[in-house]
Amino acid sequence: MMKLVAHIVVGMLLTSCSIQRLAGDSANVQNDLHNAKNESEETIERPIWVKNKPDIPGHYVGIGSARTLHPDFMRMAKEKALEDLASEISIQLSAETKYSQSEYGQQVAEYFSQSIRTSVTDKLSGYVKVDEWSDGERYWISYKLSDDEYRKEKAIKRMAIEKKATAYFESALQRRDDHQYYEAINLFLKTLDVLFSAPDETFFQTINERETLLIPYCIKSVNQIISQVKPRHDAIVLDPVNGKPASISFSINEISASGFRMAVGGTDFDLSIDGTLYLKESEIVSKKILKISLMNNFYQFGNNVRYKQLIEQLLLFPVYNITISSKPVSFELVGYDFLEGDTIADQRVKPFLIKHLAEAGIMIAKSEETGYRLNYQLQTDQKLIENGLFTVRVSLSISLVDSQGKVRYSDRLDNIKGIHNSYANAYTQAVGKIRLKLKEQLILPLIDQLF
């Protein structure tokens, strides 16, 4: 019995020792795993190029990354890497490109400096993948681009742009010299459109034996042409039947403004081949003042909104405010003055008719140009001697006839008397009285009643 108990005690002691040893081994395993994990995290380090962009001689380098949780993380990382690469190129190009703000203007210089990076990114090619790496949570990729290869490709593109722009530019100069101004503007703007596609380049042309920046020259040329589009002094021609404005003539240095469009009172109109703008809308021609502007409807650019806004800011479109009179702008004056003996200036009324008509806004022109003819006649009604003095009675009649021969207005001053010690002086006195009455009693009633 004692022997059996001894065996049991010994067995229990052995079992207890085994359990303690196993428990110690488990703790050691956990410690070993923890230590192994730490060792793994210490050994898996990011490559140097992820932390610091490498300097590869003769190459531009770009690095991009994206979280791997994104379904398209590789494409995102690539785009960022190419943007980074393009930024290196654009910084260098900005430093190399010779912008002259005094020539281009602040707006163009700023536009170009902002557009270089976008342009380079869009047109980037020839790049090569260098490396890629991921830590499971984020993905990195790097690209490089040979500086020599980039500049060779850039030179080829520049030649193509320069060739196309030069062709447009030379055609624009020829059209301008031929007074084909509308076509010239379109070709100058086409030249700009080509040049603005390469904001990282500066283009020159030899003009009058001088190297000239092409972009500012085109802008100035367009604005010079636009500034010359002006209404003629006798611009407003009225309808001879209803007396309303029928047309307004525009010219460029007295050369036809054909091809342009005008906005009048909010409505667009085409100019005829002779540079005349015909007004047909009654709601427009009834206005007292016409606001007329040249339309910016020339060569249509692409979809670049910022570029369109820049062009609109650079082109100076004039606006004209023309007062519309509700009367014809010109009459033909037909008639004669009564003269006693030789021509005596003081006995004439024609200069005063012209003067008062001009003050009312009516000029003198041929009837085939205006459609209106103003007939006038100064005549003697009576000539006698009273109480030893010479007495004359003079009358002045006027009548306005339209293009259809219809008398639109007629009136007269009757028996205006002049008394003096000679007939000549008596005539002069009577005509002087008519001159004083002419404006108030004939011209103003004519204007008011007819128009």
Residue 243 predicted with pLDDT over 70: no
Confidence of residue 433 (pLDDT cuts 50, 70, 90): very high
Q: Which long-range contacts (CB under 8 A, 24 or more apart) does 442-448 make?
A: 442/396, 442/398, 442/411, 442/412, 442/413, 443/353, 443/356, 443/357, 443/360, 444/360, 445/411, 446/398, 446/400, 446/409, 446/411, 447/327, 447/360, 447/362
Chain-centre distance of CA 61, in angstroms? 40
Q: What is the mean pLDDT of residues 285-291?
A: 61
Chain-centre distance of CA 78, in angstroms? 39
pLDDT tens for 330-368 read 778 888 776 554 445 556 788 888 888 877 667 776 655
User: Phi and psi for 358 in degrees, rounded to 5?
Assistant: -65, -40
Angle between helices 423-438 and 350-359 (to 10 degrees): 10
pLDDT tens for 244-257 read 666 777 777 666 67
Distances (CA, A) of 354 to 265, 336, 359, 362, 451: 32, 13, 9, 9, 18
pLDDT of residue 232: 62
Angle between helices 106-122 and 73-96 (to 10 degrees): 140
Break the chain down into helix, strand, coil percent, rounded to 5: 45, 30, 25
Q: What is the mean pLDDT of residues 178-185?
A: 88
